[in-house]
């Protein structure tokens, strides 16, 4: 097994682009805490407010609630710049409007690197990706490819295909668990039988494995897309 490449460290600002609240927390929050603890700036841009994400709750109530949970969640890993673009949840498509918003955000924030959502069809055999994620990731790829130079040096996606990894500490992992657990109402409704803290712990354990292909260290993995 070939060793993974070290995730680059020669940058100051990263822009994390995702479709929904909780998308950063499900995969990369421990890495984000690692970076912000080292003084780097990380900004979150979310296409939607996740207003269709809590069963039984009206969108006009759910959207603001989930924005609040997302801001609290981001704060746990040192991120205080979080923006919501207002695209409709569960109806995200790779449209000219979405690509224009991605390009505008990258240009305005001026990140050194861009971190996006996994856009492949399956997380693992039998575990299909959501259409919103696939469409959103495609929009980010297309918008990034069309950007004029100078543009951010690299575009990564956070999913099961891994080319680069960043080692994380126990403090990063603990912060990631607190971060995901801030999605309290969302997680409580999603799985009423498992305490929110337990759900968060299990998910973060899964996304920060000790990697044989990374010197046995616990790490968050990314795929270099461009």
Residues contributing to the site for Zn ion (CB under 5 A): 20, 23
Q: Which is nearer to Zn ion, 23 or 76 (CB)?
A: 23
Burial 51-75 (b: 16+ CB within 10 A, else e): bbbbeebeeeebbebbbebbbbbbe
Nearer to Zn ion, 147 or 190 (CB): 190
> Measured from the CB of residue 10, what is the shortest distance to Zn ion in angstroms?
30
Smaller CB separation from Zn ion, 53 or 221:
53
Residue with nearest beta carbon to Zn ion: 20
Q: Least separation, in Å, of the C-beta of 163 and Zn ion?
A: 22
The least distance separating Zn ion from the CB of residue 86, rounded to whole angstroms, comes to: 16
Strand partners, 128: 122
Q: Which of 155, 161, 183 is nearest to 70 (CA)?
A: 183
What distance in Å separates the CA atoms of residue 181 and residue 159, rounded to the nearest whole number? 20
**Beta-carbon count within 10 A of 178 CB:** 19
> Closer to Zn ion at the Cβ: 4 or 176?
176
Nearest distance in Å: CB 12, Zn ion: 27
Q: Which single residue is written with the structure tokens 């959502």?
A: 117
In the three-class reduction of DSSP (H, G, I as helix; E, B as strand; rest coil), residue 157 is classed as strand
Whose Cβ is closer to Zn ion: residue 23's or residue 157's?
A: 23
The minimum distance between CB 22 and Zn ion, in angstroms, equals 6
Judged by beta carbon, residue 23 or residue 172, the one nearer Zn ion is: 23
Query: What is the smallest separation between the CB atom of 130 and Zn ion, expressed in angstroms?
Result: 6
DSSP 149: S
Q: Identify whether the C-beta of residue 46 lies closer than 8 Å to the C-beta of residue 20.
A: yes
* HSE toward the beta carbon, residue 130, CA cutoff 13 A: 14
């Amino acid at each position: 097994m070939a060793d993974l490449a070290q995730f680059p460290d020669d940058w100051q600002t990263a822009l994390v682009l995702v479709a929904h609240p909780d998308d950063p927390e499900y995969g990369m929050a421990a890495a984000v805490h690692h970076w912000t603890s080292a003084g780097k700036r990380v900004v979150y841009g979310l296409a939607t407010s996740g207003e269709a994400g809590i069963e039984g709750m009206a969108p006009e109530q759910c959207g603001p609630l989930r924005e609040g949970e997302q801001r609290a969640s981001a704060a746990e890993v040192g991120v205080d710049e979080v923006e919501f673009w207002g695209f409709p949840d569960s109806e995200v498509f790779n449209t000219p409007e979405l690509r224009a918003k991605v390009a505008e955000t990258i240009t305005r924030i001026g990140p050194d690197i861009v971190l996006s959502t996994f856009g492949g069809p399956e997380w693992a055999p039998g575990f299909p990706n959501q259409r919103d994620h696939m469409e959103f990731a495609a929009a980010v790829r297309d918008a990034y490819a069309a950007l004029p130079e100078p543009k951010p040096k690299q575009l990564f996606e956070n999913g099961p295909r891994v080319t680069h990894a960043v080692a994380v500490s126990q403090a990063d992992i603990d912060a990631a668990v607190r971060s995901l657990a801030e999605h309290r109402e969302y997680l409580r409704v999603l799985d009423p039988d498992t305490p929110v803290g337990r759900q968060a712990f299990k998910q973060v354990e899964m996304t920060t494995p000790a990697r044989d292909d990374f010197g046995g260290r616990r790490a968050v993995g990314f795929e270099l897309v461009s």
